[in-house]
Amino acid sequence: LDDPSLLHEESLLDGQWVQSQSGERFGVEDPGSGHIWAASPTNKVSDVDKYVESSHAAFQSYRHVNPRQRAKILLKWHELITNARQDIAKIVVFETGKPMAEAVGEVDYALGFAWWFAGEAERIRGSIAQPAISDRRTFVIKQPIGVCVALVPWNFPVAMIIRKVSAALAAGCTMIVKPSPETPFSVMALADLALRAGLPPGVLNVISTDNANTPSVSETLCKHPLVHKVTFTGSTSVGSIIARHCSGGLKKVTMELGGNCPFIIFDDGDLEQAVAALMILKWRTAGQACTHANRVYVQSAVYDKFAQMMLEATSKIRLGHGAESCSTMGPLTTARGVDKVKKHVQDAVSKGGKILCGGKQPENLNGYFFEPTIISDMTSDMLTTQEEIFGPVLGLYKFETEEE
């Protein structure tokens, strides 16, 4: 890193970099090699109270900070992140495995949120309405809700943090972030830059933990009486658990969950444009995005032609470690992801699907790599039709009519 001080193997509590009460730590793997390259604190349920209490105490003063001052902090944060974009992207590469170009692209995309919410900080307005009684007026005044919790995924750690944190800070709220165990360091780097931008201690706290303790720490955060808002991005199954945790306290909850996106190509469509779109909407981040296309429906008249065009374009992808300049697709981020992709491929083949390319892990690469895979003759009873893949597998479904 050009600025090694951005890499924190600690959690952030009340403006200080700290370890967990137990002193336990967990290793973070480089998915491109399978090697552990850094470690982060294993916070547990017993650690949660001090993070929430710090955020609650900071809220008592931050809620009264002038909106313009909040905007200035966000704009300064934007500036510092821009200056550190290469270092942040390098951290993301070794956390997620995505190629450097994609990691830099994520940072640049995410920066727009900081800029946007800096402007929104000064546009928080209430309203006045006339009720049924003629000599009365009804006033609506918007106030910051309090301590917010962000439970974030590993596939876009920078984008998720900047989007959620910027909104909270603009509104005058404080926030506790629990990053994914796979990607704590990019989050810590962003939090460091927020402190440098002038954010008061405790307004942004970051609590790390491992996969084993993630369910209990997340549950404790969601159920804490001083937490008034929870935002979660992740799988639909975990989202339902989060909703149940928050329901007892009637907390406000915002969730962005999984998807199983279809992509439809008619026989009069522009096939070159469709291929170009799918090269991004399927293979970017090795297929690990909730907005990626999983099921590609192609009208029968152009089915074979499109399949061949997609094969030719996909053959140009170069698998490799994200830090290597020639790599255009990195590994999956976790071993769990590889297992799920294998399950989908095996299920499709067992039910009549034909592998046109890929279908296996490359023998010449360590880490969690899986070849970009295209499977034809997909049917509605296959696993890929029913659930999100979250990996580099593209299923081709043939159809005859629009009504079908």
State the Cα–Cα distance between residues 397 and 293, nearest whole angstrom: 12
Give me the sheet containing 227-233, strands edge to edge.
16-18, 11-13, 204-206, 174-178, 147-151, 227-233, 252-256
pLDDT band at 177 (very low <50, low <70, confident <90, very high): very high
Identify the domain containing residue 288 by its residue range. Answer: 261-399
Residue 248 falls within a domain, yes or no? yes
Q: Note whether 169 and 303 are same-domain residues.
A: no
Which of 211, 240, 256 is the last residue in one of the domains?
256
CA-closest candidate to residue 226, choices 50, 400, 71 = 50
E strands, 235-353, are 252-256, 261-265, 293-299
pTM of this structure: 0.95
Which of 256, 281, 310 is the last residue in one of the domains?
256
Residue 140 falls within a domain, yes or no? yes
Q: Note whether 87 and 110 are same-domain residues.
A: yes
* Cα→Cα distances 214→7, 129, 131, 154, 353, Å: 22, 45, 48, 13, 37
Q: Note whether 215 and 109 are same-domain residues.
A: yes
Q: Note whether 227 and 287 are same-domain residues.
A: no
Q: Note whether 241 and 340 are same-domain residues.
A: no
* Annotated catalytic residue 357: no
Mean pLDDT (whole number) for 196-205:
99
Torsion of CA 187, 109, 211, 287, to 10 degrees: -160
Residue 186 falls within a domain, yes or no? yes
* Tens-place pLDDT, residues 257-310: 988 999 999 999 999 999 999 999 999 999 999 899 999 999 999 999 999 999
Residue 222 falls within a domain, yes or no? yes
* Annotated catalytic residue 173: no
State the Cα–Cα distance between residues 308 and 320, nearest whole angstrom: 24
- CATH at residue 334: 3.40.309.10
Mean pLDDT (whole number) for 38-49:
99
Q: Note whether 241 and 118 are same-domain residues.
A: yes
Q: Note whether 213 and 278 are same-domain residues.
A: no
Catalytic hit among 95, 246, 290, 388: 290
Mean pLDDT (whole number) for 231-239:
96
pLDDT of residue 218 exceeding 90, the answer is yes
Q: Note whether 83 and 114 are same-domain residues.
A: yes
- CATH at residue 70: 3.40.605.10
Whole-number average pLDDT of the chain? 97
Q: How many domains does the chain have?
A: 2
Q: Give the model's pLDDT for residue 129.
A: 94
Q: Give the model's pLDDT for residue 307.
A: 98
* Tens-place pLDDT, residues 52-71: 999 999 999 999 999 999 99
Q: Note whether 211 and 294 are same-domain residues.
A: no
Q: Note whether 225 and 288 are same-domain residues.
A: no
Which of 203, 227, 256 is the last residue in one of the domains?
256
Q: Note whether 163 and 273 are same-domain residues.
A: no
Residue 273 falls within a domain, yes or no? yes
Catalytic hit among 53, 256, 324, 387: 256
Residues 6+ apart with CB under 8 A from 13: 50, 51, 54, 205, 207
Tally the C-alpha atoms within 13 A of residue 347's C-alpha that lie toward its C-beta.
Answer: 19
Residue 319 falls within a domain, yes or no? yes
Residue 404 falls within a domain, yes or no? no
State the Cα–Cα distance between residues 280 and 292, nearest whole angstrom: 8
Q: Note whether 240 and 266 are same-domain residues.
A: no
Residue 56 falls within a domain, yes or no? yes
